[in-house]
Structure 1
């Protein structure tokens, strides 16, 4: 039994029987790309009570690799744990990896792989990770309900920034339209994962496959708004926000608008020590987003509230009652 992350509500328990036959393909894929070695320590900075951290905890125990639990530690302490234990693999959340990059410290030479998972890895952060860690960065994608769906290798992230990679052996990705018809490469629909359970499972995520089978995500299926007669998704807006060098993270929620019908409100976590202002950020967005995509409201904050897996908290089912509080905005 594994709990969901609770991003869109109260965490739910998910149970799924896993046969040896089901596990063989994904496990061999992972070990061929990110070899975990017996007796070589693994630092798990992701919370072990959710799927991503739990997988690496279980893998280390199964292989006889010491597992160093670093959830809740700061970026300097996580790097120190890697150095102290001569760890070969670090698995962490994107927000943890972003803060490690901000330290400006050289990574320990024992690291062979840095794995990101449990939350989106933006192209901007991916580029920064590659600058700091070199060709050792991997990105995992999956959901508690649907299972592990894709892995992006360093080559994938270099050639196709923003991808979450390809399906492991024994798993198949399908992109379906609302009627259940398959979508061709380059066309978006809901992501379905086959291989972990009979009949496959919907992820609730929207995305598309390129011609090489790499998956790109574009937000949740139910995240789209109609603004000024145009369908607008949050992922491109969030990407434009986080591409600013003084923005650490951003979360969006729809708000009613008299002119456009709906528009976005964006809560933006600003990098510590930055003097970024709202007018400066709006100037940045004007050159990168269409008019309908421009957030109506920008709220600059020092810290966004997050789930234990590092995702900003928005309760869509409650109409946004758990959204970040504008009263917590920076003065």
Structure 2
């Protein structure tokens, strides 16, 4: 891939990607629960969005796929979209915009927050190209995404796939059975998501698929710590090469499998990792507690502010309960706080399933964990779930 901007100026990613889609007008660029979009379909939706930036509904004759943009807010960025917006809506919002893009963090240290990204500099582009090369993002390879498109993880992967000419499969926000069915129907070459997404998918695959498991050559984990146990399970079950990508909202991507990306400078200071990257404007930022093994290999030991990503911190318990109770298979829910020798407290979500809805909408603890993660961020996810019928 080669993206070039004018000397001394950043690269307008939206404009470049619109041009790229024009060269793939008849090729499928996205597959999701609504069907398939070709490059021309996506360009038509972007054109409609640019022509009607302040109207939630389009009036008069429109492209058959116009329902995709029917409920987009006036703001042309993913930060203004619902946390459950499908990837096609996010892409329309981003590609219709000129200038900066506003996206949400994954919320691993609190509620998801907005982060502004302007045109790419050459140094930022070189860093992202190195990321794509290391995880195997290539032209023609089918890429399945479990991470929501409104978060940096999902959006970065989606835009990178469009740039290199890799078709996308949107798996986010689907019920487990639908997610597995779409995964098997498309047979992707690369799968990405946060560890909570990947763990839920693995358990659903093991429970729902009776034949030979699907082989996925590359799996990319990000937006959370990947345990060695989960990494081994994913590798064994899907016969995959599993990559662990580390980064933060403020610094951008930092490393793949412990190796810093091009243009990323990391050092260890009193047990903390300090980063200077093409996305920090020359500043050094503290990221997490960690070390540089052998002086160069990154090893993350925990959050710099002592927050445990999966440690059950609940910045807004009522919001967590609202998310759980909104699930169609949930009748009621409550949060219990129990003593824990290691962390002090252990949070448990006790969920009573609705008997009538549970027969048609299967749900597991992993599904609920991923739901809270996507809506409120990793720090809002309870430590455990107990399902009652």
TM-score by length of 1: 0.62
Q: Deviations over 1:184-240 (max 9, x none)?
A: xxxx2143243323223425421111006221212222217xxxxxxxxx58xxxxx
Cα distance in 1 for residues equivalent to 2:167 and 2:234: 25
Deviation at 1:51, TM superposition (A): 0.6
Q: Deviations over 1:236-286 (max 9, x none)?
A: xxxxxxxxxxxxxx52459xxxxxxxxxxxxxxxxxxxxxxxxxxx9xx9x
Q: Deviations over 1:55-97 (max 9, x none)?
A: 1111121122221211112444334323322321111221221
CA pair 48-171 structure 1, distance change in 2 beyond 3 A = same
Contact 1:207 1:217 in 2 (8 A): yes
**Structure 1 residue aligned with 2:302, among 201, 208, 219?**
219
The answer to whether 1:124 aligns with 2:229 is yes
RMSD: 3.4
The answer to whether 1:169 aligns with 2:242 is no
Cα distance in 2 for residues equivalent to 1:139 and 1:115: 6
The answer to whether 1:251 aligns with 2:338 is no
Gaps of 5+ in 2: 1-101, 315-338, 351-364
**Structure 1 residue aligned with 2:181, among 48, 57, 80?**
80
Cα distance in 2 for residues equivalent to 1:325 and 1:44: 25
The answer to whether 1:199 aligns with 2:282 is yes
CA pair 191-125 structure 1, distance change in 2 beyond 3 A = farther
Gaps of 5+ in 1: 153-164, 178-187, 225-233, 236-249, 255-281, 286-292, 315-322
CA pair 216-306 structure 1, distance change in 2 beyond 3 A = farther
TM-score by length of 2: 0.54
CA pair 301-189 structure 1, distance change in 2 beyond 3 A = same
Contact 2:192 2:219 in 1 (8 A): yes
CA pair 222-72 structure 1, distance change in 2 beyond 3 A = same
User: Counterpart of 1:294 in 2: which secondary structure?
Assistant: coil
Cα distance in 2 for residues equivalent to 1:75 and 1:66: 22
**Structure 2 residue aligned with 1:68, among 148, 152, 169?**
169
Identify the structure with the greater helix proportion.
2
Partner residue, 1:306: 372
Partner residue, 1:89: 190
User: Counterpart of 2:374 in 1: which secondary structure?
Assistant: coil
Structure 1 residues 236-275: aligned runs within 5 Å: 250-253=310-313
Bigger-Rg structure (1/2): 2
User: Counterpart of 1:124 in 2: which secondary structure?
Assistant: helix
Structure 1 residues 11-26: aligned runs within 5 Å: 11-26=112-127
User: Counterpart of 2:129 in 1: which secondary structure?
Assistant: helix
CA pair 130-310 structure 1, distance change in 2 beyond 3 A = farther
**Structure 2 residue aligned with 1:138, among 230, 237, 243?**
243
